[in-house]
Amino acid sequence: MAVCRSCAHPLPEPGLCGRCIADPPHYDQVIAACRYAYPLDTLIQSYKYRGRLAAASTLAALLAGRIRSRPDLIVPMPLAAQRLRERGFNQALELARIIGRQLNAPVDAGLCIKSRDTAPQTRLPWKARRKNIRGAFVVLGSLEGCHVAVVDDVLTTGATLSELARNLKRAGAARVTGYVVARTVSR
Ligand SMILES: [Zn+2]
């Protein structure tokens, strides 16, 4: 199955999807282990919302199997402080740690901060998502010429990843790749 070479959305043939052509994202590429569908969606939900930390190694192994190059730095998609308190852990950080060990790449959990909580993106129409997330991230430090990989569990529209990538590139990153376990597919 072909996917968009930028956002990893399924396509009938290799290339770029219409959305990425019309409105290019700030990241360079998304590597997704699988589609967000049964049974992976159930495993991700039990990991994320019920704290089934044992699922992290299964999910991370699926993702690591798709990665062909080693980034200079891995960062987990940051959670806002309030969300982190509610959930008790950052699901992206556990995945990033395992993948960092497998790729022998450094993981920096303190580089990017989500400076404010945002309305859950899933409740918003596609166009409102970019506005909702704009300015929500702060990147501390310089990333001159680095290939940075951002790890997250699920990618939906990519608006959040694109906004973080915009900030990473402003801090000097040469390339930003998203590593996601599952990618949702629009009907
Ligand atoms: Zn695309």
Which domains are seen in the chain, by residue range? 28-183 (3.40.50)
Q: Taking residues 84-91, what's their average pLDDT?
A: 91
Q: Taking residues 38-53, what's their average pLDDT?
A: 90
The model's pLDDT over 98-116, given as tens digits with 9 standing for 90+, comes to: 999 999 999 999 999 998 8
**Residue 73 pLDDT > 90, yes or no?**
yes
Which conformational region is residue 125 in: left (phi greater than 0), alpha (psi within -120 to 50 degrees), or beta?
A: beta
Q: Taking residues 150-175, what's their average pLDDT?
A: 96
- Write the single-letter amino acid at 146: C
Ligand 1 centroid–CA 54 distance in Å is: 32
Q: What is the distance between the alpha carbons of residues 74 and 77, in angstroms, rounded to a whole number?
A: 10
Please tell me the predicted confidence (pLDDT) of residue 187. Answer: 59
Q: What is the distance between the alpha carbons of residues 142 and 186, in angstroms, rounded to a whole number?
A: 36
C-alpha distances (whole Å) from 87 to each of 84, 166, 182 are 5, 27, 20
- Write the single-letter amino acid at 131: K
Ligand 1 centroid–CA 159 distance in Å is: 12
Ligand 1 centroid–CA 184 distance in Å is: 12
Q: Taking residues 135-144, what's their average pLDDT?
A: 93
Spatial contact of 106 and 83, defined as CB atoms under 8 Å apart: no
Ligand 1 centroid–CA 87 distance in Å is: 31
State the pTM of this model: 0.94
**Residue 69 pLDDT > 70, yes or no?**
yes
Window from 38-47, 111-120, 173-182 with minimum mean pLDDT: 111-120
Q: Taking residues 162-170, what's their average pLDDT?
A: 97
Ligand 1 centroid–CA 16 distance in Å is: 5
**Residue 123 pLDDT > 80, yes or no?**
no
